Amino acid sequence: YDYLTPVLTKYISQKTWFQTLDFIAPCVPTGLMFGRFGNFIGGELYGRAVTDPNYPFGMIFPTDPLQLVRHPSQIYQAICEGLILFIVLWW
């Protein structure tokens, strides 16, 4: 049913397809950003092990079987795929 949302939005708002897609496009990175925050909270998709244990962004994830200091790649992705892409599409 995901394909119905743009169709219904177009017909309800009486806008062109380009105007409708311009309205919907910034919502996609927002969903990606919240999804990555969910991965962070769930302790999933953690990044590579950090070689320097004093790295300021390194953290130990409770679900990591090796309990290594790792990059929080979910936060990196939330910023790059979510926030920055949202700003680019909104601008």
* Amino acid 73: pLDDT: 92
Tokens of 38: 């969910």
pLDDT 10s digits, 9-66: 888 888 888 888 888 888 889 999 999 999 999 988 888 999 887 888 888 898 889 9
Structurally, how many domains does the chain consist of? 1
List the domain range (segments joined by +) for residue 75: 26-90
Say if 18 falls within a structural domain.
no
Q: Give the span between the Cα atoms of 56 and 44, in whole angstroms.
A: 20
Tokens of 25: 């496009």
Say if 7 falls within a structural domain.
no
